């Protein structure tokens, strides 16, 4: 199971199928929340995850299988809701508190 310390996180990538729709929306929301942490949030299609620099991958449960296949060694956070998701809220909290973050 992959894990990473919050202080090592420089870039988070949000993945969706085409990398143009839902991932952009989630990425922009998250970027706003993490502005003070100095963490950039980008978006990408699942098939370009490997080429996108990142410390954490954020992906919807429906695409999580393909995300894990693409980057098996990365920390992959899975979310269920595009608005008000608990896992995303936890991720933000962990990053702000400087906790260790692992797959989930």
Partner 1 sequence: MSDFIPSGGGGQTGFRARLQHLGGNLAGMVIPNIGAFIAWGLLTALFIPTGWLPNENFSSMVGPMILNLLPILIGYTGGRIVHGQRGAVIGSIATVGVIVGTDIPMFLGAMIIGPLMAWILKYIDKVLDPITPPGFEMLIGNFSLGIAGMLGAMLGYLGIGPIVAAITDVLGSGVSWLVDNSLLPIASVLIEPAKILFMNNAINHGVLGPLGVVQAEETGESILFMLETNPGPGLGILIAFWLAGPKLLRGSAPGAIIIHFFGGIHEIYFPYVLMKPQVVLGAIVGGAVGVATFMVTGVGLVATPSPGSIFAYMAVTPSGNHLGVLLGIALSAAASFVVSWFILKLSKVDASEADFEAAKTRSKEMKAGK
Within the chain, residue ranges assigned H as helices are: 22-33, 64-70, 86-97
Residues in binding contact with partner 1, number by CB under 8 A? 30
Interface region with partner 1, contact rule CB under 8 A, candidates 6-14, 31-39, 79-87: 79-87
Nearest to 25 by CA among 12, 39, 43, 1: 43
> Rounded to whole angstroms, how far apart are CA atoms 17 and 63?
8
When asked if residue 88 is in the footprint of partner 1 (CB under 8 A), the reply is no
Least distance CB 23 / partner 1 (angstroms)? 9
Stretch that binds partner 1, among 6-14, 30-38, 75-83 (CB under 8 A): 75-83
Active-site residue set = 16
């Amino acid at each position: 199971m992959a894990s990473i310390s919050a202080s090592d996180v420089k870039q988070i990538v949000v993945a969706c199928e085409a990398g143009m729709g839902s991932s952009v929306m989630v990425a922009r929301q998250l970027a706003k929340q993490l502005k003070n942490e100095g963490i950039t949030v980008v978006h990408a299609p699942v098939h370009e995850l490997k080429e996108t620099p990142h410390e954490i991958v954020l992906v919807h449960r429906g695409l999580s299988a393909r995300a894990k296949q693409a980057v098996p060694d990365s920390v992959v956070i899975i979310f269920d809701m595009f608005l008000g998701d608990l896992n995303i809220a936890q991720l933000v909290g962990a990053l702000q508190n400087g906790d260790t973050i692992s797959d989930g």
